[in-house]
Amino acid sequence: MDPGSKEFRRDFVRSLVGADLESGKHARIVTRFPPEPNGYLHVGHAKSICLNFGIALETGGQCNMRFDDTNPEKESDEYVRSILEDVRWLGFEWGGGPYYASDYFETIFAAACELVEKGLAYVDEQTADEIRAARGTLTEAGSGSKWRERPASESLIRLDEMRAGALPDGACVLRARIDMASPNINLRDPSLLRIRRATHHRTGDQWCVYPMYDFAHPISDALEGITHSICTLEFEDHRPLYDWVVANVTLPSRPRQIEFARLELTHTILSKRKLLELVKEGHVAGWDDPRMPTLAGMRRRGVPPEALRDFCERVGVAKANSVVDMALLEHCVRENLNLEAPRYMGVLRPLKVVIENYPEDGEEWLPARNNPEDPSAGTREVPFARELWIERDDFRIEPGKKFWRLAVGREVRLRWAYFITCTRVEVDPATGEPVLVRCTYDPSTRGGDSPDGRKVKATLHWVSVRHAGTAEVRLYDRLFSDMSPGDDWRERLNADSLEVLQDCPVEPALAQIEKGARVQLERVGYFCVDARDSRVGRPALNRIVGLKGAATQT
């Protein structure tokens, strides 16, 4: 794509990147996606993935996959594996790596020594609370540490002792010497290295000093030749420190940091800390619970990666924070599945129908279109017999004025089959609820149309009792009932976010479908065959999203 084209200038980040290409500042664009492996990625990360990898693809450049593994107490190989799987699932491959910040620990430590030698950093032996108290406020300048003027030679000795493990955790930190009166608190002698005795998932116990993100990030970018370090908006105030490190450490390149607004979504939380609490407290069944906004959860639920990329494209890239309605994501998913998902019939809450004028041992296999939106999808054969299952909500003993489905004396269409008319109903004497609906059918309406042109106001889905397979159906809904769960999210958990229905009748073809397949249950919603819990002949169906109109519409 031409970086000067209108399409490439569709957001401010691409405009900046395009301008750097057109001016000759960079001959090739190199971006990176640098998650910390301390949890599973969520839908908010998808926006960053699509932006960083997208720009690289559009310009013929490269996007590096790099892990910010500088906090060993919270990181693990499990998270690394899940992140790599998520990026590939979204449809992207990295041009370099995967790399790790831990690949550069030796270089980062050397950079720390260089700053000390230049008089731009010092080892501070104050406690964390003392450093915090002396940093000042947004309206008051900070005060310098008594260690701020210690000789570079003394700081270097302390720095070597920190690395050798001769000092306990918290005994001291390496701080940049910048400006304790700066209006930007991030420049008030920020910490660069700290002592932390913890086994690292890659380097083991080789290191006991670890860099802060604001120190490791610009050095890692420069070592990899990153041209544009695209971050979310909370790092805007950190950019002066990023630039300070790049300017004062001897590095092979000078990357540029650009910030954009992160994705915020209604009816969910996009904080790895809170998502971890959801998992640890047992509110969900793991990081890949289909109710979770994690990419693993969305994948298991059956969200198509194409729909998620489309969603990120529609949300766009902006400089100001905003909250996107979950309904937009659901619309993108529904729009994708409407074109791609084959149709089947399944009944969630069955009520038996007997067609009294149909032969007791009769059987027909009726043609049904696999996807009315895609003629090339062809047809399948659906078995029809005397006894059928219909949805319990599709029958009323006393229908209201706007209820057009089945009732005594009323005629309706069975999808792909015949017109039927209810003649009587049998009820449970204890509850008064219907237990059996008796009907007749019109043989001349085979295929669902009447030769005399008469119209019916409802079409019902159904499954032959004799031929039915069974499925477990999981009706997933939004995890939170409130648009903005906030800090008291535990009080806003949706008690109805999951309903599990056992032994739901489904047409026989659906009972044999492969794991991971996405389908539409006609008049019910879009579902995915759970890859973990399904077995041959008995699929577990995860509801991805409902139809635009509910199955219980009039």
Give the CA-trace dihedral at 233, 239, 240, 243, to 10 degrees.
-170
Task: Report yes or no: 93 and 49 within 8 Å, Cβ to Cβ.
Answer: no
- Domains of the chain, by residue range, sit at 12-260, 348-467
Where do runs of H (alpha helix) occur along 380-455? none
pLDDT single digits (tens) 407-420: 999 999 999 999 99
Q: What is the DSSP letter of 219?
A: H
Query: What phi-psi label fits residue 32: left (phi over 0), alpha (psi between -120 and 50 degrees) or beta?
Result: beta
pLDDT at residue 551 above 60?
no
- Please report, rounded to a whole number, the percentage of residues in the chain having pLDDT higher than 90: 94
A 10 A CB-CB count for 554 gives 12
pLDDT (0 to 100) of residue 96: 74
- Dump pLDDT digits (tens) for 439-495: 999 999 999 899 998 999 999 999 999 999 999 999 999 999 999 998 899 999 999
Instruction: Give me the count of residues in the chain.
Output: 554
Give the three-class secondary structure for 40. coil
Sheet with 30-33, strands from edge to edge, namely 30-33, 62-67, 96-100
- The DSSP symbol for 239 reads H
Q: Is the peptide bond before 367 cis (omega within 30 degrees of 0)?
A: no
- Element housing 81 (H / E): helix 77-89
Q: How far is CA 184 from the centre of its chain?
A: 34
The residues annotated with a catalytic role in the active site are 36, 262, 272
pLDDT of res. 97: 83
Could you tell me the pLDDT band of residue 6, with boundaries at 50, 70 and 90?
A: low
Average pLDDT, integer, range 179-193:
98
Q: What is the mean pLDDT of residues 389-414?
A: 96
Q: Over the stretch 266-284, which tens digit does the pLDDT of each residue have?
A: 999 999 999 999 999 999 9
Q: Is the pLDDT of residue 424 over 60?
A: yes
Model confidence at 396: pLDDT above 80: yes
> What average pLDDT does range 31-47 have in this prediction?
97
Tokens of 189: 């002698």
Segment 97-101 shows an average pLDDT of 95
Distance, C-alpha 291 to centroid of its chain:
10
Contact 284, 300 (CB under 8 A): no
Fold classification of 12-260 is Rossmann fold (3.40.50)
In the predicted model, what is the mean pLDDT of residues 87-110?
95
Whether 552 has a pLDDT exceeding 50, the answer reads: no
Residue 425 vs residues 13, 355, 422, 462, 463: alpha-carbon distances, Å: 65, 12, 8, 17, 19
Neighbours of 326 (CB within 10 A): 17
Averaged over 499-519, what is the pLDDT? 95
CA distance 526 to 112: 55
119-139 pLDDT per residue, tens: 999 999 999 999 999 999 999
pLDDT at 554: 38
* Average pLDDT of every residue of the chain: 95
- Report pLDDT digits (tens) over 304-361: 999 999 999 999 999 998 899 999 999 999 999 999 999 999 999 999 999 999 999 9
pLDDT at 95 over 90: no
Q: Based on the number of CB atoms within 10 Å of its own CB, is 429 exposed (0-12), middle (13-18) or buried (19 or more)?
A: exposed
Domains 12-260 and 348-467 are alike in CATH topology: no
The domain covering 348-467 belongs, at the CATH homologous superfamily level, to Ribosomal Protein L25; Chain P (2.40.240.10)
Prediction pTM value = 0.93
